[in-house]
Amino acid sequence: MKTGTKWVIGIVLITIFGTAGYIYLKNQIDLIMDFCYKPINFKIKSFVKKNISIEFFLKIRNQSKQTIIIKGYTFDILLNTYNIGTVHNEIPQTWAADNVSVLLFNISADLSKIKMPLIEILNLLNDYLIDKEKILLTIKGKLSVQLFGFLPIKNYPLERTYTLKDLLADDTNPTTCQI
């Protein structure tokens, strides 16, 4: 076989396998970004003087065939429009491939730094008792992940808002999909 023919066959094979690889990777990334999530619970771990520590659990369905490793995140936590704390974590968490995972977020807040007027606190207490849909919890910040076991994505912006009614709901199926 001539050298020129070998080059043509080689280029055609590289093009075919390269295109197939690109399509596969793009499809997996699209599936990763089309995840479904549901806040399933939160619990107060401690409430000492003016400090509160809360665990927030999020059930996530990864529809991709690829495992995602969450390398770290930094989020501001807003209660309605008031910043109640920052969440920072550098401990890796795994988001299983083609599976449902529960991710844990630890929130610590210094209540003395929250600049919420007394009337707003009273309104929150009233809403807690009467209409939990009026209480909004927003997570806003940046997330760093590792895809395909080697591809780092740093500081991916993320913002999600939940009502307290959503957080306290009994239905734990991940139904809210991100597109």
d(CA 39, CA 103): 10
Are 43 and 131 part of one and the same domain? yes
Are 76 and 88 part of one and the same domain? yes
Question: At 170, is the pLDDT very low, low, confident or very high (cuts 50, 70, 90)?
Answer: low
- What is the mean predicted confidence (pLDDT) over 58-76? 83
pLDDT confidence of residue 19: 93
Are 139 and 127 part of one and the same domain? yes
Are 99 and 13 part of one and the same domain? no
Are 109 and 27 part of one and the same domain? no
Q: Identify the domain containing residue 26 by its residue range.
A: 1-33
The sign one gets for the Cα dihedral 102, 108, 113, 119 is: positive
Residue 111 pLDDT more than 80? no
d(CA 107, CA 91): 14
pLDDT confidence of residue 175: 60
Residue 179 pLDDT more than 50? no
Q: Could you give the number of structural domains in the chain?
A: 2
Taking the model in full, what pTM does it have? 0.63
Residue 47 pLDDT more than 90? no
Are 83 and 109 part of one and the same domain? yes
CATH code of 97's domain: 2.60.40.10
Parallel, antiparallel, or unpaired: how do β-strands 151-163 and 176-177 relate? unpaired
d(CA 153, CA 164): 31
Among 96, 98, 71, smallest CA distance to 156 is for 71
